[in-house]
Copies of this chain bind each other. A is one copy, B any other.
Amino acid sequence: MDDATVTAPAPDEDIDLAYDVFARSCPSRHTLEHVTGRWGALTLGALSENTLRFNELRRRVDGVSEKMLSQTLHALERDGLVHREDRQTNPPRVEYRLTPLGESVAERLLSLIELIEGKMPEVLAAQHRYDGRRPA
């Protein structure tokens, strides 16, 4: 991938428009999708509580398949949000933890998740109203 596809920020200026998620070619979109994607969000959430091993994560993130968890972890590791530590022991023991960057991302993500969880009664009420008006 080419990383120069976006409005190139002059290194000696502080441009706050450097990365704009609203632009379709901005690399921040990919990272945002890793973070907010179906399994990315839950994985970051789980790791914000503890360092976890692969199968511990699988159990914590209810419903994720091996394939998706593996894929998700690779993407998050590549983005520098998750650190993978292979203890090289027998039996194998691999631990996943958040990097400092991952922690700050997870913090804001969890704030969003908790808000939504707390507002679910309102959301469900809205859904019922909507479905009632459009019974099709």
Contact = CB atoms under 8 A, between A and B. Distances in A.
Interface of A: 3, 16, 18-24, 27-28, 31-33, 35-38, 41-42, 45-46, 60-63, 77-81, 101, 104-105, 108-109, 111-113, 115-120, 122-127, 129-131
Contacts of A122: 80, 101
Copies of this chain per assembly: 2
B19 A117 contact: yes
A35 B41 CA distance: 12
A123 B33 contact: no
Contacts of A36: 36-37, 41, 112
B124 A27 contact: yes
B115 A108 contact: yes
Contacts of A101: 119, 122-123, 126
A111 B107 CA distance: 10
